[in-house]
Amino acid sequence: MRLTLEGDRSLSISRKNDHLDIVLSGRGASSVSAGFDRFVFEHVALPEIDMDEIEVGTRFLGKHISAPLLVSSMTGGPERAELINANLATACEELKIAFAVGSQRVAIEAHGDAGLSRHLRELAPSIPLLANFGAAQLNLGFGQDQAARAVEMVGADALIIHLNPLQEAVQPEGDRNWRGLLHAIEQLARRIRVPLVVKEVGCGISGRLARRLVDAGVSVIDVAGAGGTSWAAVEAERASSPLQADVARAFIGWGQPTAEAIAEVRDACPEAFIIGSGGIRDGVDAAKAMRLGADLVGQAASTLDAATVSADAVADHFRVMIMQLKVTCFCTGSSDLVSLQASRLRRLDTAGSYASDVPVRRRSAPATRPSPISR
């Protein structure tokens, strides 16, 4: 494995702190919409259900969660990451929703934990917890041993491999050799003892790529589409020269909007477990993501402000989101998530009029043995 010098570690920590500051400031937002405003639920004026009995719980990684929500990966320098992750883990355990940690690359290379430790599992003993590092690291010495360390470090139920080619391309110190990574992901999927998740970081995953990933043994696809944080915008903000900033700014609107990515991946991979993330603003967007084909919905930047304050602030944020999801269920006549995923959703045209009904897209039963993701 490539040896990382102390200077490299310091640069990585400084970069992560820069990323956190820029996202918190709002300067890292994409210039495009996530696409959920192009859809509207049919309002059911006579729901014929009791709102207090609506059930939005589901199963993920073999565990029951109270709502189809995931706190998506966030990070920062070790000291800040420790506070943020502790608040997130505590809140997720209280509410019984899933939690994914930020990149563990620095921790693995430094043979430490960089604010990501088994303490997170102690804070969140019963929820799905996901480890994480970047796909580019698979060309820089990472493999089965490092994957096992990432999982063991936090007591994770699954491992995320994140895809961020645009960010690496516009980052001066980025890793740009991406040859052979699909094969490396396939080899890792065969050898790792926990389910493998592949996610983008804000540009979306296409249906064609999702199909190849699922065929390679990936258990979960997180589309992480455009419409939330733009890492091109973030890198433009931290660029060390006007030239570097100009290159990055051209890509602030790059990527496939999240709503479109969810529907496309579901069509291409009817049996896959899909996470919809990227620009999810509230529980109504979450409901639309579920209706378009997602099994779970992720939020990151929208949670970050609360995560820097307290676990209670994070919990309050998600309580609001869960109630918004339940109100959406009530006003579509949906008693649970299965009903919500079959409710009537209409696509709007450019003039804001109804253009067409959206076909129902739900995960089909896998052709082989039951998946460890939901059983």
Is a pLDDT exceeding 90 seen at residue 375?
A: no
Residue 369 is predicted with a pLDDT of 47
Q: Give the β-pairing of 98-100 and 129-134.
A: parallel
Give the residue among 30, 9, 31 at the shortest CA–CA distance from 77. 9
Can you tell me the mean pLDDT for 320-337?
98
Express as a percent the part of the chain with pLDDT over 70.
91
C-alpha span between 106 and 78 (Å, rounded): 9
Give the residue among 348, 332, 255 at the shortest CA–CA distance from 290. 332
Where do the domains of the chain lie, and which CATH numbers do they carry? 6-41+62-323 (3.20.20.70)
Is a pLDDT exceeding 60 seen at residue 237?
A: yes
Window from 26-30, 278-282, 370-374 with minimum mean pLDDT: 370-374
Beta-carbon contacts of 331 under 8 Å, excluding residues fewer than 6 positions away, are: 41, 43, 44, 47
**Opening angle at CA 106, ends 315 and 10, nearest 5:** 110
pTM over 0.75: yes
Express as a percent the part of the chain with pLDDT over 90.
76
Q: For residue 4, what pLDDT band results from cuts at 50, 70 and 90?
A: very low
Phi-psi domain of 216 (left: phi exceeds 0; alpha: psi -120 through 50; beta: other): alpha
Q: b/e map of 22-50 (b: 16 or more CB within 10 Å)?
A: bbeeeebbbebebbbebbbbeeeeebebe
Residue 7 is predicted with a pLDDT of 52
Window from 56-65, 90-99, 179-188, 357-366 with minimum mean pLDDT: 357-366
Task: List pLDDT tens digits, range 251-290.
Answer: 999 999 999 999 999 999 999 999 999 999 999 999 999 9
Is a pLDDT exceeding 70 seen at residue 212?
A: yes
CA of 287: how far to CAs of 13, 94, 261, 297, 341, in Å? Answer: 36, 22, 15, 9, 8
Residue 367 is predicted with a pLDDT of 56
Residue 145 is predicted with a pLDDT of 96
Beta-carbon contacts of 138 under 8 Å, excluding residues fewer than 6 positions away, are: 161, 181, 184, 185, 188
Give the number of other Cβ atoms within 10 Å of residue 211's Cβ: 16
Task: List pLDDT tens digits, range 43-85.
Answer: 999 999 999 999 999 999 999 999 999 999 876 555 677 889 9
Is a pLDDT exceeding 90 seen at residue 353?
A: no
C-alpha span between 359 and 342 (Å, rounded): 9
Residue 228 is predicted with a pLDDT of 93
Give the number of other Cβ atoms within 10 Å of residue 338's Cβ: 12
Can you tell me the mean pLDDT for 230-242?
93
Q: Could you tell me where the DSSP H helices lie in 27-143?
A: 78-95, 105-109, 119-123
Can you tell me the mean pLDDT for 306-317?
95
CA of 41: how far to CAs of 45, 152, 170, 302, 358, in Å? Answer: 12, 42, 38, 23, 10
Residue 13 is predicted with a pLDDT of 64
C-alpha span between 3 and 32 (Å, rounded): 39
In which order are the strands placed within the sheet that holds 354-357? 39-41, 345-348, 354-357
C-alpha span between 127 and 312 (Å, rounded): 17
Four-residue CA torsion sign, 220, 105, 261, 37: positive
